[in-house]
Amino acid sequence: MADTTPSGNPKKSVRAIAKEGALSHQELRTLQKEGVDVANPVTREGREQNKAALETARLEKVKLESELIRSKIAREKGELIPVDQVREDIIAAVAAFTAELYALANDVPGQLAGLTETQIRDKVLARIDLLVDKVKAKCEDLGKARLEADEGNNL
């Protein structure tokens, strides 16, 4: 028994349909990939399937458009930051942290000579706390500068 469509009509190949109609084989294949029932387009069932595929495509388009609009609004509100800005800020923060670590390595050895293990630990922890505070301040300054620059651009 030959393959038939759900409506009982015999199934035809895309090539056979292309020979009968105005669309090329490639055009029919493209439609088929998009979910259009090219073998059964004129029956009620075929129209319903095509209608459903079209509706699905329209719904996806609306979803993508609304997502784009939400992204634009979030960017305007300052809720989204371009990747390049984040990268620049991270590089600056790491540079500040690295500079403070090198300063720590250069300053601490002379301060630790002759101290006990507990005293060394306390001095190093105090210096690390100072380093963390300096890096936090540098990051806050970067954030404030970025906000001021963004506000200046929005005027």
**Same domain, yes or no, for 53 and 107?**
no
Residue 53 lies in a domain: yes
- Ranges 14-23, 48-57, 67-76, 101-110, most confident: 67-76
- Containing structural domain, residue 97: 81-154
**Same domain, yes or no, for 95 and 127?**
yes
pLDDT tens-digit map of 68-109:
999 999 888 878 878 888 888 888 888 888 888 888 888 888
Residue 2 lies in a domain: no
**Same domain, yes or no, for 68 and 114?**
no
Distances in whole angstroms, Cα of residue 153 to Cα of each of 76, 77, 81, 89, 150: 11, 13, 14, 18, 5
**Same domain, yes or no, for 85 and 146?**
yes
**Residue 102, pLDDT score:** 87
**Same domain, yes or no, for 95 and 61?**
no
Residue 132 lies in a domain: yes
